[in-house]
Amino acid sequence: MLSDSDPTSVSLNSSPLDCPLPPPPVEVEPPETQKPALPLRPPSSSDEDFFSSASIASSSSSEDTHQNTPAPAQLPPQIPLSWPEGGALSREWVNGLMHCFEWASRAVPPQEFPSVLPVDVFDRLILSGHKILHKERNCVTISKDELNSDSRVVVVGDLHGQLHDVLFLLKDAGYPGDDRFFVFNGDYVDRGAWGLETFLLLLAWKVLLPDRIFLLRGNHESKYCTSVYGFEKEVLVKYGDKGKHVYRKCLGCFEGLPLASVIAGCVYTAHGGLFRSIVTTPVKRSKGKKNRKVTLNPDQTCLTLGSFEELSKARRTVLDPPWEGQNLIPGDVLWSDPSMSPGLSPNKERGIGLLWGPDCTEEFMKKFGLKLIIRSHEGPDAREKRAGMGGMDEGYTIDHVVNSGRLITIFSAPDYPQFQVVLMGFFYLHVCMCPM
């Protein structure tokens, strides 16, 4: 077992983020419905080739669709799981993990989860993932050189602990492999009953294929949200007296999740979206002082969009992204929302992050040669409260259509929240046509 002093451990004593959020919904059994993939119409521009090769798939999480996930075993799988001999994960081991998690979700009470995944196996998996994630840059990239005519990149939105839908998604979209990349936009945990299994399953795929699956951070991968919206309680129930240990290790892994991705140089993805430039002001220093101290310009009336260089320098390894001070970019990337009103302004409704209009989308895309922005962060309940913004019942909505391309919000937790018939959205990208 790992000691609490190892690099995956974090302190639970930091103060929580104090900002308004909607109350967590209650999960119910989803109704039966299904929709086919919906192709995007290309805009009337020279970008037709690019957009004709992108599509959004929408589907339901009904029991009928679960027939495509690994079926419940007639006999229980071999449990408890053990770490593979030699220490390296194999596709067979990851497939076994998926099978065990699916079976246990139906057959094993939460309090008996260690009989499926012992703490020592959890420790090995979380440490392996921790090492990989903390070495990645703030903005990970899938370069055009890594893609060919057969390559597909699947971009996935919020999952919120809906394990069975994740299993269906992987089966439906195709498992990660040589020509199948995945970018997950965060929010793996909270609200759903299987946040731990959802995150660990994707982490296992990350350890197995670190260059084919990319796990970005969502606003729920934080100490504040997990302590309020259910993940901490879920872990404590499943692991009992070892629950705090498991929770600390998960938080340490969350800190290492990258903030954003760029695909083929022309697609930007992040959980919340755009971010500000951090304007600093030199402070007068006494004679003889060699160090030049800088402070954040308190004038927030002159907000401007940030750059990828600034994003690369932000400090992401914090339990809760700050809403004040000099390290605001992580909070912006995780918490910001698009708006139909022009300009860039503080996101007063959330108490952290920004609101940005179509003009900002066009400015950001034009400046960095982007054709598409894919973000997540908002489900149907959030969109119901925002007049003028598109709904999320189809699992996605096109928020901004500008000269350079489009901004799309995608949500991958179907039939969420209670009493809403909502489809799962995930984005197929065949991006070999992106312009150089």
What is the predicted pLDDT for the residue at 388?
Answer: 81
Bigger pLDDT: 417 vs 237: 237
Would the pLDDT of 61 be above 90? no
Lowest mean pLDDT among 45-54, 191-200, 339-348: 45-54
Sequence-distant (≥ 6) Cβ neighbours of residue 85 within 8 angstroms: none
pLDDT (0 to 100) of residue 429: 84
Q: Which long-range contacts (CB under 8 A, 24 or more apart) does 301-305 make?
A: 303/276, 303/277, 303/344, 303/345, 303/346, 303/354, 304/276, 304/277, 304/279, 304/344, 305/274, 305/275, 305/276, 305/277, 305/344, 305/356, 305/360, 305/363, 305/364, 305/367
pLDDT for the residue numbered 55 = 66
Among 37-41, 70-74, 375-379, the least confident range: 37-41
**pLDDT score for 420:** 53
Q: Which residue has the higher pLDDT, 357 or 425?
A: 357
- Check residue 111 and give its pLDDT: 98
The model carries a pTM of 0.83
Percent of the chain residues past pLDDT 70, beyond the cut: 74
Catalytic residues: 220
Query: Looking at residue 56, what is its pLDDT?
Result: 66
Instruction: Indicate whether 87 pLDDT > 90.
Output: yes
Residue that wins the pLDDT comparison between 57 and 41? 57
* 284: confidence class by pLDDT, cuts 50, 70, 90: low
Highest mean pLDDT among 4-18, 49-63, 77-91: 77-91
Query: What's residue 116's pLDDT?
Result: 98
Please tell me the predicted confidence (pLDDT) of residue 384: 75
Q: Which two tokens stand for residue 347?
A: 């996101």
Count CB atoms within 10 A of the CB of residue 41: 10
Q: What is the pLDDT of residue 100?
A: 97
* Inter-residue contact 105 to 163 (CB < 8 Å): yes
Q: Where are the domains of the chain?
A: 47-283+292-433
Q: Could you read off the pLDDT of 94-136 as tens digits, one per residue?
A: 999 999 999 999 999 999 999 999 999 999 999 999 999 999 9
Please state which of the four CATH numbers 3.60.21.10, 3.40.50.1220, 3.40.50.150, 2.40.50.140 is assigned to the domain occupying 47-283+292-433.
3.60.21.10
Amino acid (one-letter) located at 326: Q
pLDDT at 251 over 80: yes
Give the pLDDT score at 342. 97
Residue 39 has pLDDT above 90, yes or no: no
pLDDT tens digits for range 197-241 = 999 999 999 999 999 999 999 999 999 999 999 999 999 999 999
Question: In whole numbers, what is the pLDDT of the chain averaged over residues?
Answer: 83
Q: Which has more confidence, 36 or 124?
A: 124
What mean pLDDT comes out for the span 337-346? 97
Find the mean pLDDT for residues 134-151: 96
pLDDT for residue 52: 43
pLDDT of residue 33: 35
Q: d(Cα 409, Cα 397) in Å, to the nearest integer?
A: 5
| Residue 431 φ then ψ, to 5° | -100, 15
Asked whether the predicted pLDDT for residue 51 surpasses 70, the reply is no
| pLDDT surpassing 50 at residue 383 | yes
